[in-house]
Amino acid sequence: MKGDFSRNSFDPNKHYRGVRMQQGCVQMDADWNEQTDITDYGNRRLLRLFRGCHWPASGAGFAIGVATDQQDLTIGLGRYYVNGLLLENSRSLYFTDQTDYPQAISPTQDSVYLTYLDVWQRSLSVADDADMAESALGGADTATRLYTVRKLN
């Protein structure tokens, strides 16, 4: 994970429900990050409990089609959940135009193909997205962001 973190203290086996800040104590990134992890873990478990491991959240999110010129596949707009993670496709796009899969190659032969969503999270820093730089502090790098990668294979 990119970033200067003091430690990763989240352990789901401890069954913590929250982090409480104390008056007069040192503030550490690990405490704030653990609270985020506790909340995320609980939300994802709840979603999986009620809906299962994967489902479309709106219409047929990420529906696969064939482009009108029959030279590429299309990926429909919509939302889809995988293992409690929300994936959003805000516009229809071609299979070969995926942001998180720039080397995608569309099938070229008539056949039966399997498509699947490959999903994971990664940390992004100001080196990945210059908009994260804090202009009020002269462009300082203050925090990272968690990004959900979605790649349709």
pLDDT tens column, 31-71: 998 999 999 999 899 988 888 777 777 667 788 988 888 88
Query: Which two three-digit tokens encode residue 31?
Result: 């405490």
pLDDT of residue 37: 92
With the CA atoms of 19, 2, 142 and 147 taken in that order, what torsion angle do they form, in degrees rounded to the nearest 10? -80
- 39 belongs to a structural domain: yes
Domain of 84 in residue numbering reads as: 27-152
Q: How far is CA 137 from CA 103, 134, 142, 145, 146, in A?
A: 37, 6, 9, 18, 22
**Residue 76 CA to its chain's centroid (Å):** 18
- 14 belongs to a structural domain: no
- 60 belongs to a structural domain: yes
Query: Which two three-digit tokens encode residue 84?
Result: 């409690």
> What's the whole-number mean pLDDT along residues 81-98?
89
In percent, the amount of the chain with pLDDT more than 90 equals 13
CA pair distance 98, 94, nearest whole angstrom: 7
Residue 95 clears pLDDT 80, i.e. is over it: yes
Domain tally for the chain? Answer: 1
- 20 belongs to a structural domain: no
- 117 belongs to a structural domain: yes
pLDDT of residue 1: 60
> What's the whole-number mean pLDDT along residues 142-151?
88
- 75 belongs to a structural domain: yes
pLDDT of residue 58: 67
- 21 belongs to a structural domain: no
**What mean pLDDT is reported for the chain?**
86
- 46 belongs to a structural domain: yes
